[in-house]
Every structure is written in C-alpha cells, then in structure tokens.
Chain A
Amino acid sequence: GIQVEQSPPDLILQEGANSTLRCNFSDSVNNLQWFHQNPWGQLINLFYIPSGTKQNGRLSATTVATERYSLLYISSSQTTDSGVYFCAVNLGSARQLTFGSGTQLTVLP
C-alpha cells in the first residue's frame, strides 16, 4: 500500500495567500524532511523535522510522529514559492528516504 502520501496533489493560490500541505506516513519514522523542487529540478532542503515544530521565515513545519503525519505551512505566498514540495521519510528500519508523490504549488501574481 501507499507508504508516504501527500495532499493535495495540486494547489493554486493567489499571491499573499496561506496554505497547508500534508504528509501522511504508514510507519514510525526517525527522519522526515521537506524539500522544494525548483523549476530546474534541484531539491532545496526546507526542514529536517522528525518531530516537533520548526519555523524559517514564512515557512513552518510540524510533525506529529505518534499520529504519523507532518504539515508544511506557507504564509503570505509569493510567486517564487511555486514548484513541487516533497515530503520524504525513513520508514521503520529502512535505510533510505522514501518520497511522497509531491504537491505541485502554483502561486499566481
């Protein structure tokens, strides 16, 4: 079955709006990361957050490991926030990061 599930798959916002992206996972995790993939394909590290809450400017993230989900909040979105956001986790005893299918975010001017 699906091990890492992200929602929504697509999101279109007007500049200045806020959004919440969700990542559900099917097992315990010892690593969870959020990435932003820019139009050139590069994966930019946003958060390393296996548990708790972190903030970095307009972005913040919360992981509730006991309930197996993580949330990425984007406030006052800008056109440069557009791209694909990936959640990736180490599930159970697995050695590698398992990626979700991503959320495609489009911020309109």
Chain B
Amino acid sequence: DGGITQSPKYLFRKEGQNVTLSCEQNLNHDAMYWYRQDPGQGLRLIYYSQIVNDFQKGDIAEGYSVSREKKESFPLTVTSAQKNPTAFYLCASRRGRQDSTEAFFGQGTRLTVV
C-alpha cells in the first residue's frame, strides 16, 4: 500500500542524547515536511524539503537537523540542543513542489525525554 511510514511509534531519550526519527514515503511525492505537536495545540513546522538534497527551516528549527539524500526519505534528528524535545512529531508529504497540492501525514512518533 502507498503511504507514509514513521518509525518508531514511541521513542524514549535520555537528556543529552541525539535521536533520529524516520520518515519514509512510497507515494513518489517531491515535498516532505516535519511538524511538531505539543499537547492541546496545533502543529508547528520544523523543516521542509521540496527536492532531494535541499531543505529549508520552518518556524521552530532550532535544535533539529534533517537530511534529504533520497526522494523517499526525510529523517529528523532531535539534538541535545533542543531544550524541550518531548512532543508528538508528524511527517507529511505532498505531490509536486507546488503548494496547492494535498498533503498527507504519517502516523507520528511520540518522543519522551526521560
């Protein structure tokens, strides 16, 4: 089935550690996005990529890094510089580089710092 796969579903991290969240899509979509959701709030954009080997910062990029080496994959690294990383992380993709196409989301990864 075509879709967006995020892994793991749950992730626990010790303070000071970097962790990488996986996002893979087999929809042949050009653009991919990472959002963060805190309890009771909407989604905020961390990073996005509209083409392989290129990405742009979103509204809350500090403490995060990404790569886009393959069209299908857009991993997000939460670094130790992120002061409050506990949140729900959602990956999305859309066809083409235009902003007028429909976006689809993965099932999310819940990150907890312990």
Question: Given A86-B43, A101-B42, is A41 in contact with B33 using a C-beta cutoff of 8 Å?
Answer: no
Which of these, A33, A41, A96, contacts B45 with CB under 8 Å? A96
Is the beta-carbon distance between A99 and B100 smaller than 8 angstroms?
no
Instruction: Specify which chain A residues have a CB less than 8 angstroms from the CB of B35 in the assembled complex.
Output: 99
Question: Given A41-B107, A96-B33, is A30 in contact with B99 using a C-beta cutoff of 8 Å?
Answer: yes
Is the beta-carbon distance between B102 and A90 smaller than 8 angstroms?
no
Is the beta-carbon distance between A31 and B100 smaller than 8 angstroms?
yes
Question: Given A33-B103, A94-B99, is A41 in contact with B42 using a C-beta cutoff of 8 Å?
Answer: no
Distance of A33 Cα from B42 Cα, bound (Å): 14
Instruction: Specify which chain A residues have a CB less than 8 angstroms from the CB of B50 in the assembled complex.
Output: 95
Can you show 25 pairs from A to B with CB atoms below 8 A apart?
A31-B99, A31-B100, A31-B101, A33-B102, A35-B105, A40-B107, A41-B88, A41-B107, A42-B105, A42-B107, A42-B108, A43-B90, A45-B102, A45-B104, A48-B102, A94-B99, A95-B50, A95-B56, A95-B99, A96-B99, A97-B43, A97-B45, A97-B103, A99-B44, A101-B42
Contact surface of A with B, Cβ cutoff 8 Å:
30-31, 33, 35, 40-43, 45, 48, 50, 86, 88, 90, 94-102
In order of increasing CB-CB distance, the 8 nearest A-B pairs are: A99-B42, A48-B102, A43-B105, A90-B99, A30-B100, A99-B43, A101-B42, A41-B108
